[in-house]
């Protein structure tokens, strides 16, 4: 699988042509919060949530996002959870969207997280009409649901392919940029830098701004040269993971509290602790002081290490 993916990374990235689909994505539409609000729903209304679930699944899993051919076991393993907290009309909804992406580790049954992110409450407003299919074109804004889903699909593809080869996800992040630019002229939240520090805009900006170029090396060194090498050469793999955190530190020094830096640590800090708890003391010390510089709040995770 991994040799094949690495070969695919060397191919040019074109979009929307007829090869096997890329995602194996589970979708959940949680409408329980609507029960405790003024936006009550009747029993018959449950059908629209089931239709919404199928529409999102079909949009993500059955659309062609790249020109690369994926076997079934090579598809990106991800989850999308939409938590509805308001319904202002029969077709207008609001709430949160969360995205999770997981990556298999070479020569093992272990799966490591790459992305686990939830937007702010009611930051995700959209319309959904059961009788209308979700349409998408990167250069045209049709609706906020399809644009948001497509945006995160390209972000996931970018991060995933970055983890297999140097700057492997560049073309996908550029597609996310195009989507964000098309959507930024609308009134919907999340597409502009002024919306909030956690706006989805920043995922695109962090991965396309040349000032944060080292972020792409973070994924490559952590996953491909780190985790994928653990069963073959643990000392070298740990050194590459340390190097990935040094790249993360470089990005942090360019700008603190960067969204992508924060989310990388949120996803991987427990895994880092697990990998380096049996490691030599000098490696633990190096990890400790890098994390202390980037994210002091996470220093407590190393309470069992003797690094002082």
pLDDT tens-digit readout, 158-211: 999 999 999 999 999 999 999 999 999 999 999 998 888 888 999 999 999 999
SS3 track for the chain? CHHHHHHHHCCCCCCCCCCCCCEEEEEEEECHHHHHCCCCCCHHHHHHHHHHHHHHHHHHHCCCCCCCCCCHHHCEEEEEEEEEEEECCCCEEEEEEEEEEEEECCCCCCEEEEEEEECCCCCEEEECCCCCCCCCECCECCCHHHHHHHHHHHHHHHHHHHCCCCCCCHHHHHHHHHHHHHHCCCCCCCCCCCCCCCCCHHHHHHHHCHHHCHHHHHHHHHHHCCHHHCCCCHHHHHHHHHHHHHHHHHHHHHCCCCHHHHHHHHHHHHHHHHHHCCCCHHHHHHHHHHHHHHCHHHHHHHCCCCCC
Per-residue model confidence (pLDDT) at position 141:
95
Is the domain of 37 the same as that of 181?
Answer: yes
CA 49 to chain centroid: 24
The tally of domains found in the chain comes to 2
What is the overall mean pLDDT for the chain? 90
Is the domain of 179 the same as that of 115?
Answer: yes
Q: Tell me the pLDDT tens digit for each residue of 25-44.
A: 999 999 988 865 545 555 55
pLDDT at position 1 over 80: no
Task: Give the pLDDT band of residue 13 (cuts 50, 70, 90).
Answer: very low
Is the domain of 105 the same as that of 188?
Answer: yes
Is the domain of 144 the same as that of 288?
Answer: no
Is the domain of 190 the same as that of 142?
Answer: yes
Give the separation between CA 146 and CA 35, rounded to whole angstroms.
26
Is the domain of 203 the same as that of 73?
Answer: yes
Q: Which domain-ending residue is among 191, 208, 225?
A: 208
Residue range 5-28: average pLDDT? 61
Domain that holds residue 142: 2-208
Is the domain of 34 the same as that of 157?
Answer: yes
Of 28-42, 99-113, 269-283, the range with the lowest mean pLDDT is: 28-42
Per-residue model confidence (pLDDT) at position 179:
97
Contact 302, 291 (CB under 8 A): yes
Per-residue model confidence (pLDDT) at position 42:
57
Is the domain of 106 the same as that of 200?
Answer: yes
Is the domain of 232 the same as that of 196?
Answer: no
Task: Give the pLDDT band of residue 10 (cuts 50, 70, 90).
Answer: very low
Per-residue model confidence (pLDDT) at position 286:
97
Q: Tell me the pLDDT tens digit for each residue of 213-262.
A: 999 999 999 999 999 999 999 999 999 999 999 999 999 999 999 999 99
Q: Structure pTM?
A: 0.91
């Amino acid at each position: 699988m991994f040799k094949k993916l690495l070969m695919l990374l060397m191919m040019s990235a074109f979009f929307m042509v007829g090869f096997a689909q890329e995602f194996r994505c589970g979708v959940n539409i949680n409408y329980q919060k609507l029960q405790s609000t003024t936006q009550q729903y009747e029993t018959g209304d449950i059908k629209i949530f089931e239709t919404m679930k199928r529409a999102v699944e079909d949009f993500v899993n059955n659309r062609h996002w790249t020109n690369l051919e994926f076997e079934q076991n090579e598809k990106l393993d991800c989850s999308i959870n939409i938590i509805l907290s308001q319904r202002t009309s029969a077709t207008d909804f609001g709430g949160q969207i969360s995205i999770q992406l997981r990556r298999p580790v070479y020569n093992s049954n272990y799966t490591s997280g790459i992305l686990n992110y939830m937007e702010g409450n009611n930051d995700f407003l959209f319309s959904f009409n059961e009788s209308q299919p979700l349409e998408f074109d990167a250069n045209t804004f049709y609706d906020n649901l399809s644009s948001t889903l497509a945006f995160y699909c390209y972000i996931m593809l970018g991060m995933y392919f970055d983890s297999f080869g140097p700057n492997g996800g560049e073309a996908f992040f550029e597609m996310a940029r195009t989507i964000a630019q098309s959507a930024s002229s609308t009134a919907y939240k999340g597409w502009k830098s002024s919306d909030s520090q956690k706006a989805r805009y920043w995922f695109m900006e962090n991965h396309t701004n040349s000032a944060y170029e080292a972020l792409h090396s973070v994924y490559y060194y952590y996953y491909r040269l780190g985790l994928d090498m653990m069963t073959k050469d643990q000392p070298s793999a740990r050194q590459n993971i340390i190097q990935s955190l040094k790249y993360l530190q470089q990005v942090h020094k360019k700008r603190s509290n960067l969204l992508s830096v924060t989310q990388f640590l949120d996803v991987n800090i427990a895994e880092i602790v697990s990998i380096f708890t049996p490691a030599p003391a000098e490696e633990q010390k190096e990890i400790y002081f890098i994390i202390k510089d980037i994210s002091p709040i996470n220093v407590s995770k190393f309470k069992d290490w003797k690094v002082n």
